[in-house]
Amino acid sequence: MEIRQLAGALGAEVLGLDLTSEIFDTEFASVRDALHGNGVICIRGQEAMTPEDQLAFAAKWGEVSIHPYVPSIEGYPGIMKIYDPNPITQTWHSDSTHMREPHAYTLLLARVLPEVGGDTMFASATRAFESLSPGLQELLRSLSAVHEGTSLAADAGLDHEAVVAVHPMVRVHPDTGAEALFVNGNYVTRIDRWTLEESRPLLEHLYGVIGRYENTYRHRWCSGDLVIWDNRLTQHAVVGDVAGEERVLHRVTIAGSALV
């Protein structure tokens, strides 16, 4: 097994690992450390991986989460079909931050890819926070933000209170101690105890910092790529340039814990 860094801010690839077979504990520990150190990793060459294989490997990372309002693919609870890019997936975000215990990890396996396009952008929320002035960092550590589910939650009949959570705007990673911005344009509606008008300028500034080129890595998908990212350290967004071509990926998320 070989691990190679892909960009300065975040991102690494893992070569020589077959996830259709049982992997050693030492190999998994190396993969986990690579993820915590790089925010996002791509395990290449997993074309033969079945849904059973994906769920079995995902279980090594923790409890597989069932999305509260987006259905799983038939017969495989916990695997969600990701397809056409849309305004939600094209916005910088971490997965399901409207939950009181947001997802820790996401595992996304390429199944059908367009000839060109459909890349996924990743951003280091840790690098973004580190780039801020000490004064702004101190302020953000004292603030929380309100996260709300998208319109899909209402369409599924969920009560609004079931998809609303208040989280610190700076998240401390439980394994590494790294601090990261924890606000995103998909789910955050305002800063807690601030008005919408007061919240908007600061939030827009932070979103712009997250998406700066020097904080990002662009993943160009290849057949068999299994991409794993740490939602506590990163944000992501799809590039919506597939021009109607089919793009199918299978997503599994791992349950997280309440923020402190």
Residues belonging to the active site: 93, 95, 236, 251
- The C-alpha atoms of residue 173 and residue 88 are separated, in whole angstroms, by 25
Query: Which residues are CB-contacts of 143 (< 8 A; sequence separation ≥ 6)?
Result: 168, 169, 191, 192
**Kind of pairing between the strands at 64-65 and 226-230:** unpaired
**Kind of pairing between the strands at 188-191 and 179-181:** unpaired
* Assigned token pair, 182: 């924890």
Q: Which amino acid is at 172?
A: V
Tokens 């996830």 label which residue?
A: 19
Half-sphere exposure of 70 (CA within 13 A, CB side): 19
- The C-alpha atoms of residue 219 and residue 8 are separated, in whole angstroms, by 13
For 183, counting Cβ atoms within 10 Å of its Cβ (0-12 exposed, 13-18 middle, 19+ buried), the class is buried
- The C-alpha atoms of residue 153 and residue 1 are separated, in whole angstroms, by 41
- The C-alpha atoms of residue 101 and residue 31 are separated, in whole angstroms, by 24
